[in-house]
Amino acid sequence: MSRKQSNPTVIGIDIGKNNFHLIGLDDAGEIVMRRKLSRRQLAERLVNLPPCLIGMEACVGAHYLSRRLLALGHDARMMPAQYVKPYLRGQKNDYRDAEAIAEAVQRPRMRFVTPKSVDQLDLQSMHRVRSRLVRHRTSVINQIRTLLLERGIPVRQGARFLFAALPEILGQHGDLLSPRMEQLMMDLSGDLRHLDERLEVITEEIGAIAKENQACQRLMTVPGIGPVIASAMVATVGDGTAFDRGRDFAAFLGLVPRQMSTGGETILGRISKRGNTYLRTLFIRGAKIILMHSKNWPKHRFGPWLEAASKRMHKNVLAVALANKLARIAWSVLRHGDDYDPKGLFLAA
């Protein structure tokens, strides 16, 4: 006698560009649905189902799909892909991936990704464009310096030094640069000015958004955190409720030591470098700015710790340790909705 078909209570979706693979499980954990749907068919198929738990990996398009499914009454949850992989059984294919997602989303201790709002995604997109412009500008700067060095014209490292030296190089080094090379340098100089202008415009726009956002304003009261870091943090973690404590946020940024413990012996190595590379880099840069102004250390609540640590740590290690502390303080400010008090007693968990 054939088993009666029932509606799924848990669905795992393997997200693709055009097609989605679905595996539905019933209360007993049996597969009762196996579908391959297009992007248009997905909403039409799920709108007719009773509310159920739907899992998916946090990837491109997942936040938009999660908002749509929540609007349909389903409990949509996103998970980091590395947390789903242990539940994959057998050979890898799209249906097996969807089945692993359906298994993982039911785990009581699974860590889920908070869906981002449209404003968060817009701000995150601006940061991604800004990051690409910075990389492109650095690439053009390095190419100009390399080509000039091949002609015996060294230029000091740094964008501002190159901008200051280019007019003199193009005007007084005609004996070292051929007409063709001089024209090439002028073209590259124009590219560099264009990238610098675009970068300045988008940075100013990010700063304007940060000044209007209350969460960003609170974050900017923390030492070393300006509009760029504050807006990037809000775009990434929202109000910080996805983390139970500041240490978890620091671990998300990869600012905690890598553990290789075994046999009851705790072994700590270098930082893990897991999670959000862009935000981790920004926090380390903010920490280095604080280290450059040692006269201001006593003004900060962590000033005594910083002065003591500077005597026993290498400057790079100290920068990472300070970035960890700043990240935990920033999470506390964001999560509890209070401004940073340099002489207060609240501690970042």
- Is 2 within the bounds of a domain? no
- Is 246 within the bounds of a domain? yes
| Average pLDDT score over residue span 24-43 | 90
Q: Could you tell me the maximum CA-CA distance found in the chain, to the nearest angstrom?
A: 93
Residue-level pLDDT at 339: 86
Tell me the percentage of the chain whose pLDDT exceeds 70: 96
- Is 251 within the bounds of a domain? yes
Residue-level pLDDT at 348: 45
Residue 180's Cβ-count burial label (10 Å; 0-12, 13-18, 19+) is exposed
- Domain edge (last residue) among 69, 104, 139: 104
Cβ-proximal residues to 232 (8 Å cutoff; 6+ apart), any chain: 124, 127, 278, 279, 282
| Average pLDDT score over residue span 240-256 | 89
Residue-level pLDDT at 32: 92
Q: How far apart are CA 204 and CA 325, in angstroms?
A: 27
Tell me the percentage of the chain whose pLDDT exceeds 90: 56
40 and 74 assigned to the same domain: yes
Phi first, then psi: what are they for 210, rounded to 5°? -65, -35
What DSSP string runs through 199-259? Answer: HHHHHHHHHHHHHH-HHHHHHTTSTT--HHHHHHHHHHHTTSTT-SSHHHHHHHTT-SEEE
* Nearest in space to 25 (alpha carbons), one of 95, 114, 109, 110: 95
22 and 94 assigned to the same domain: yes
131 and 78 assigned to the same domain: no
- Is 82 within the bounds of a domain? yes
Write a three-state SS string for 28-61: CCCEEEEEEEEHHHHHHHHCCCCCCEEEEECCCC
- Is 38 within the bounds of a domain? yes
- For residue range 157-211, what is the model confidence (pLDDT) as tens digits? 888 888 888 888 887 766 778 888 888 988 999 999 999 999 999 999 999 999 9
| Average pLDDT score over residue span 329-340 | 90
Sign, Cα dihedral of 83, 87, 91, 97 = negative
- Is 55 within the bounds of a domain? yes
229 and 183 assigned to the same domain: no
219 and 192 assigned to the same domain: no
- Domain edge (last residue) among 39, 74, 104: 104
- Domain edge (last residue) among 172, 189, 212: 212
63 and 135 assigned to the same domain: no
Q: What is the mean pLDDT of the chain?
A: 89
The radius of gyration computed from the CA coordinates of the chain, to the nearest angstrom, equals: 26
Full domain range(s) for residue 150: 118-212
Look at residue 346 and tell me whether its pLDDT is greater than 80: no
Question: Looking at this protein, which amino acid is placed at residue 236?
Answer: T
- Is 229 within the bounds of a domain? yes
How long, in residues, is the chain?
349
Q: How confident is the model at residue 91 (pLDDT cuts 50, 70, 90)?
A: confident
165 and 186 assigned to the same domain: yes
Residue-level pLDDT at 173: 65
Residue-level pLDDT at 345: 46
50 and 162 assigned to the same domain: no
Cα distances (Å, whole numbers) of residue 199 to 40, 130, 208, 292 = 37, 6, 14, 25
Structurally, the chain folds into a number of domains equal to 3
- Is 341 within the bounds of a domain? no
59 and 72 assigned to the same domain: yes
Q: How far apart are CA 327 and CA 285, in angstroms?
A: 12
CATH classification of the domain holding 41:
3.30.420.40
130 and 228 assigned to the same domain: no
27 and 72 assigned to the same domain: yes
231 and 153 assigned to the same domain: no
Residue 229 backbone zone (phi > 0: left; psi -120 to 50: alpha; other: beta):
alpha
Residue-level pLDDT at 1: 39
